Every structure is written in C-alpha cells, then in structure tokens.
Amino acid sequence: MSYEQLQEAAAAIAERTGRESHQAAVVLGSGLSDYAASLDDAIEIPYSEIPFFPEPRVVGHGGSLFSAPVGDGAVLLFAGRVHTYEGWDLDEVVFGVRTAALTGASSILLTNAAGGLGDGFAPGDLVAIRDHLNYTARNPLVGMNDDRLGPRFPDMSEVYSKRLRGLLERAFQTASVSYREGVYAWFLGPSYETPAEIEMVKRVGGDLVGMSTVPEAIALNHMGVDVAGISLVTNYAAGITDAPLSHEEVTETAAEARERFTAVLDALLPLLVKG
Ligand code: HPA
C-alpha cells in the first residue's frame, strides 16, 4: 500500500460519486451490510471497480462501497469488509478506511459482531467500544512509516474518540435503544477463542471479543481520524455458558438486532456529518 494508491482510490470514488468529499464513513459489520442500500439516493460502487480495493473472499459477496447524501454532506458506507483471518495483509485490511479518510471523512464508525463476556454483555446487546486489547501481536503500522499518513509512534490513549462517544450517546437516546460501553479484545480467528483465553480476557478487563475493527481503528488513529466503534453481541464468548459457538448463532442474533442497530445509525449519521 502506498499513499499514491490511496490517493488514486480516493480520486476514483470522487469521480464515480460526483462528490469531492465525504464527511464521514461507516464500516458495516456482519448482518448489517444491507443498511447501505436502504438509504435514499445511495450510489453503489462494487469494490472490484475501485483501484486496489481488496474484495471479501466470501462466495457471492464481493462487497460494495456506497455513497449516500446525509444532511448537508455525504457518508461512505462499506458493505462487506476483509478480515485478517482470510489471509489479507494488514495494509490491505485497512486500505478501504484509509481511503475514506483521504476522501475527507474525519469521523469514522466501525461496527462488528462480537462475543460477549457476560456480566451485562449478553447476546443482543449493543455496545459502544471504549478501548481495545490486541491479542494478535499484529499491527497495521509495522513497516516503513509514511509521514503523510501519520507519525511513526502514534499516541493511543484515546483511539475511540470521546467526542464521537458523546454523539453515540445522543444517537442511542434518540433511537430509544439502551447500550453500554465496553472494551473489545481483538483475536485473529478464524477459530473462536478457548474458554481459557476468554477467562484471561475477562481478568484483564475485556468485555467483548472479535476478529475485526482493531486494525482499522489503529490505522485511522494514526491518521488523526476520530474513530467510534459499536459491537453487536451475537453470542456469549466461549466458556461463559456451556453452549458451543456457531456461526449460525452469530448471524441469527445479528438479524434479530438489525432494527435497533438501524435506528441508531439513522440517528447517528446526521450527527457524524455535522461533526
Ligand atoms: N469470538 C470472536 N469473534 C466473534 C465472536 C466470538 O465469540 N462472535 C462474533 N464474532
């Protein structure tokens, strides 16, 4: 990944959408990707038509970027993301959100499905990410630093912006959806965690586990972009109950929670665009 490639992708998005800039972006997690197409006047660009964009390796779902007018501006929405466990390099995993930042997006929301560690983090719950733990020993900033993107040693003391967490609070209130804040622990996957790993995460203060979001958050924090994260708890993490984990449970819970999640996004997008 180079800065020039990011610029080329951002220029292609400007050309295809006829919009010189987008003020905000949203990465839609598992079960949420239909949200983008439901927005009025959304323009769809398949990832395959954007230079250097990686395409998700799930049969039949190449992924698309949407551009939708919101308030006085416009939002980019990622329907489909690539994961590190699919074998992508981290600079490919973060390419899309870095491009969004170059189109002008200064507030970016990352959403995902996650396992909940109990004690109030139960299936169906929506959680605003307050901070994260990185259990992969990987980092998208490894390698030569490009100073045009950000500093060599970026501060990480407020990755999930307090300002955006304030906007999330307002959006949840407007949508009459209850939520809480929590700490998200990133595991590589694709196997789910063991009960011993979940016990470890619990002891150090983690509330959620998942296989995405953190690389994007690190890369955007590096660029000085304000980041927010929302997890939908789709299942109890391993060992919290006796039940084995299954991908079916994850997708079923995501489908059940869609209406609430959608109401929150409807309330949040205008706030993100206004800044
Ligand atoms: N672990 C990791 N990733 C997940 C989980 C989980 O329990 N649920 C949804 N994504």
CATH number, domain of 104, equals 3.40.50.1580
Evaluate whether 81 touches 29 at the Cβ level (below 8 Å): yes
Question: Hey, which of 78-82, 116-120, 267-271 has the most confident mean pLDDT?
Answer: 267-271
What pLDDT sits at residue 203? Answer: 97
pLDDT at 4 over 60: yes
Q: Which domain holds residue 120?
A: 3-274
What does the alpha-carbon distance between residue 15 and residue 167 come to, in Å, rounded to a whole number?
Answer: 30
Q: Average pLDDT for residues 3-16, to the nearest whole number?
A: 97
What pLDDT sits at residue 179? Answer: 97
What pLDDT sits at residue 251? Answer: 84
Q: Is the shortest distance between the CB of 237 and ligand 1 below 6 Å?
A: yes
pLDDT at 144 over 90: yes
CA–centroid distance, 210 to ligand 1, in Å, is 5
CA–centroid distance, 201 to ligand 1, in Å, is 13
Specify burial of residue 55 (Cβ count, 10 A radius: 0-12, 13-18, 19+): middle
CA–centroid distance, 147 to ligand 1, in Å, is 34
What pLDDT sits at residue 243? Answer: 86
Evaluate whether 32 touches 254 at the Cβ level (below 8 Å): yes
- Please provide residue 214's backbone torsions phi and psi, each rounded to the nearest 5 degrees: -65, -45
pLDDT, tens digit, 9 for 90 and up, residues 180-215: 999 999 999 999 999 999 999 999 999 999 999 999
Catalytic: which of 61, 169, 246, 255? Answer: 61
What pLDDT sits at residue 249? Answer: 84
Residue whose Cα lies nearest atom 2 of ligand 1: it is: 210
Specify burial of residue 1 (Cβ count, 10 A radius: 0-12, 13-18, 19+): buried
Give me the number of domains the chain comprises: 1
132 noted as active-site residue: no
| Residues whose CB falls within 8 Å of the CB of residue 274, separated by 6 or more in sequence, listed in order | 71, 72
**Which residue in the block uniquely carries the two structure tokens 């006085």?**
72
| Residues whose CB falls within 8 Å of the CB of residue 29, separated by 6 or more in sequence, listed in order | 81, 110, 111, 112, 113, 212, 213, 231, 232, 254
Q: What is the pTM of this model?
A: 0.96
Question: Measuring CA to CA, how many Å separate 250 from each of 27, 148, 234?
Answer: 18, 39, 5
